[in-house]
Amino acid sequence: MRVVVPFAPERPKTRLAPVLDEAGRVAFARTMLDDVLSVLSTLDRERGVPVDPLVLSTASVDCGAPVTVDDRQLTEAVNDYLPTSDGDDPVAVVMADLALVTPAALEGLFEPDADVVIAPGRGGGTNALVVRDPDFRVDYHGASVRDHRDIAREAGLSVAHVDSFRLATDVDEPADLVEVLLHGTGEAATWLREAGFSVVATDGRVDVERNSG
């Protein structure tokens, strides 16, 4: 499976500014990318799922997979890498901030035999996608999960949804760090712990706190 991983190394994750300075956000975003690439590599090496990764980055980045620099908007850039003719190999698009991703979660994404497979993200996003038909094009603006269903339906394509909390959890806001600390199995969780973050439960609610010590 060709897997495109969009990544923006410059000024990433601005909504984490209340808890991480810019250098921290850059390093943490990069760690999440590494986790996603590591899971793809595990699928390929250990699970017999051939994976051909491509990091589609808005700026140069040195990482464990081939990189193409493309500074266009996400939608335009991704659309250039989708199948263009019947018979083209399918293409998956997996976001670089899925810090809970596991090989099993991605296997669940690759499995359904539909023209388009959608893994919804929280808040209306599309965190991962498989496209098997050249008539499909992405549109990541707004409630993209709804738009992607509409685009597929209008093109007469079959759609499958993947029900995965791990794929639904992209990391944008401080509250999302709770999920990484509780459920992450990769370096991003380790990075947060080493940066002093931990889960605190106060009067029934759960949040992160950071010890600078």
> Rounded distance, CA 51 to CA 4, Å?
10
**Least separation, in Å, of the C-beta of 36 and its own copies?**
16
Q: Which of 120, 128, 130, 170 binds its own copies (CB under 8 A)?
A: 120
82: its two tokens: 């989708």
**Contacts with its own copies in 64-103 (CB under 8 A)?**
102
**Nearest by Cα to 114 from 79, 80, 162:** 162
Q: Encode burial over 19-51: b for 16+ CB neighbours within 10 A, e otherwise.
A: bbeeebbbebbbbbbbbbbbbbeebbeeeebeb
Q: Quick one: 131 or 180, whose CB is closer to its own copies? A: 180
Within 13 Å and on the Cβ side, how many CA atoms surround 27? 12
> Rounded distance, CA 211 to CA 64, Å?
31
The secondary element (H helix, E strand) that includes residue 34 is helix 22-46
**Contacts with its own copies in 133-192 (CB under 8 A)?**
141-143, 145-146, 163-168, 175, 178-179, 182-183
Q: Quick one: 64 or 142, whose CB is closer to its own copies? A: 142
Q: Which of 85, 205, 211, 213 binds its own copies (CB under 8 A)?
A: 205
3-state percent breakdown (helix, strand, coil) of the chain, nearest 5: 35, 20, 40
Q: Quick one: 8 or 67, whose CB is closer to its own copies? A: 8
Q: Quick one: 68 or 198, whose CB is closer to its own copies? A: 198
Q: Which of 105, 151, 171, 180 binds its own copies (CB under 8 A)?
A: 105
The reply on whether position 122 binds its own copies by CB under 8 A is yes
Q: Which residues bind its own copies (CB under 8 A)?
A: 102, 104-105, 108, 120, 122-125, 141-143, 145-146, 163-168, 175, 178-179, 182-183, 199, 201-202, 204-206
